[in-house]
Chain A
């Protein structure tokens, strides 16, 4: 038992998991409540899911959020891979210090500062060259790409560090060009990290309220902006339904991904154990 966990510590840990999960579980249960009030259980009903499906404001905001997140995540991943390549492969290139400062500060920058500063830049740029004309979906994508690429770079870098360089060296000795080596060897090997980076950038973009509020224009409200304006007015059962659907989707994908990773890992461990036996 000396390697295990003591009882008081276990209790703290269980309470910690409780804090993470009790609010969400209660919300999921009450999303099926027939009554508008949280305090009264009026029987099981899917009424709020039906009303959600009728809510054009929420549905159009959802479409905008998905579009923004897909674009921002894709751009973030491309730039993130470039940053990771530069840091892991290029040694002490010129501007290394500058790039490393620029690519890591957005990770810790307060959202209100990022949002305000980007808005001021967009306004100044519009004054100078007339672009971007007004603010909308494009400016949100630019803003999300700016911090998304820094998170993507962190994810890809850690994978690239463990990379076995001898494969690339062999390809290079056989006459392959650098771009060819990258697309036919490097990219397939780091693919899991690239997918993880894309998913992280997608999630960050999809969930962002603060930065999008600053850089969005009229008619470009994303889902978090609409949710926030509704929540400010009080608890609305449709949001319970919306949150339940979104959390269920995320939970299903995270659990599926973990099961696959866990199976692969244990499979590999078993294979290695068998292989090492004489």
Chain B
């Protein structure tokens, strides 16, 4: 009986690890290997629309390895590297704007009484649970030349001709705010709620001004939240497709949209794969940093937990 129990517990454990591990190896790691391979192949007519990178024919093993797709990215750099630069710029500014609004929003929530806090938290979570595609669609109705804002301003006599808001950097930033603001607020709120009132009181009692308390205590203690929130916004914003596709114009082409166009419109899968590799290369550093940050945080949490129970 004891032996049977041991067998189940030992092999049960193996199964618990093996099932998700195998799934992720097959459906997450292998696909990335597949993209890397395809980025070195040549496009051709047929299904799939590229020549295999390697294989066996009557002459034995063959390879079709070439770097043409990457040299294409460099030769037409304004069509490929340019949008990548655009993505970095738009994502970076969007992250800063998100931070500008999210910081006071999180502070307001953290400093409210429990009842008000519950309501404000629901107001932050609600957009998080609704489709961002539909919210971006709602934004188009607001910003269009004949949309709500322009009609209102013309009706009120403030302007005569519609202001151009769609297909500008402004519409991109509004879309990013609408999509990613909750992701910036939640980590900030998580660190702010842990700030002790006593700490702020003590600083104020000792004569620190409001600005002094903020700069010397609040800001340094909320840096982990700022970093976590910024990574949560910046990384997906760089690879964003829906926002530049629906809100951006030719000046706001981002790398995710270029990949989409190569794949769906030009049906050039090897070049699309090379763009995917470029996007991964750009995001490698922030992604690794996010993982490192995350690992350190859980290690800290665990250490704190152990300290508390012992």
Residues of A within 8 A of B (CB): 2-6, 9-10, 12-13, 15-17, 19-24, 26-27, 30, 37-40, 79, 82-83, 85-86, 90, 93-95, 98-106, 108, 110-114, 116-118, 120-121, 123-124, 127, 142-143, 145-146, 149, 153, 161, 177-179, 203, 206-207, 209-210, 213-214, 224, 227-228, 231-232, 235, 239-240, 242-243, 246-247, 250-251, 254-255, 258, 262, 266
Contact = CB atoms under 8 A, between A and B. Distances in A.
B158 interface: no
Contacts of A6: 210
B139 to A, nearest CB: 5
B142 A23 contact: yes
- Say whether chain B's binding surface is mostly helix, strand, loop, or mixed: helix
B242 A209 contact: yes
A112 B127 CA distance: 22
B146 interface: yes
A8 B141 CA distance: 29
Contact of B20 (A26, A149, A228, A231): A149
A65 to B, nearest CB: 10
B228 to A, nearest CB: 12
A interface: dominant SS:
helix
B276 A113 contact: yes
B201 to A, nearest CB: 7
A108 B235 contact: yes
B246 A30 contact: no
Closest 7 pairs between A and B when the two form their complex, measured CB to CB: A110-B239, A117-B31, A16-B101, A9-B104, A27-B138, A39-B151, A23-B138
A225 to B, nearest CB: 10
B249 interface: no
Contacts of A161: 301, 305
Interface in B134-152: 134-135, 137-142, 144, 146-148, 150-151
A109 B140 CA distance: 27
Nearest to A94: B17
Contact of B104 (A16, A37, A104, A213): A16
Nearest to B106: A13
Given A3-B197, A23-B135, A13 B34 contact: no
Contacts of B197: 3
A216 B121 CA distance: 36
Given A20-B127, A39-B147, A210-B242, A255 B13 contact: no
B111 interface: yes
A30 B142 CA distance: 11
Contacts, number: 270
B159 interface: no
A206 B131 contact: yes
Interface residues of B, number: 100
A117 B130 contact: no
In this complex, the member of A2, A37, A149 whose beta carbon has the largest number of chain B beta carbons within 10 angstroms is A2
A228 B177 CA distance: 20
B287 interface: yes
A254 B125 contact: yes
Contacts of B156: none
Contacts of B264: 213
B43 to A, nearest CB: 13
Interface string B79-115: 0000000000000000000001111110110010010
Nearest to B19: A82
B3 interface: no
B133 interface: yes
B125 to A, nearest CB: 6
16 contacts: A9-B108, A12-B105, A19-B174, A20-B124, A23-B141, A37-B146, A86-B20, A104-B294, A112-B276, A113-B239, A116-B263, A116-B276, A203-B129, A209-B133, A231-B137, A247-B134
B25 to A, nearest CB: 7
Contact of B138 (A26, A37, A85, A110): A26
A246 B131 contact: yes
Contacts of B178: 19-20, 23
Contacts of B25: 102
Contacts of A2: 200-201, 204, 210, 213
Contact of B291 (A101, A224, A251): A101
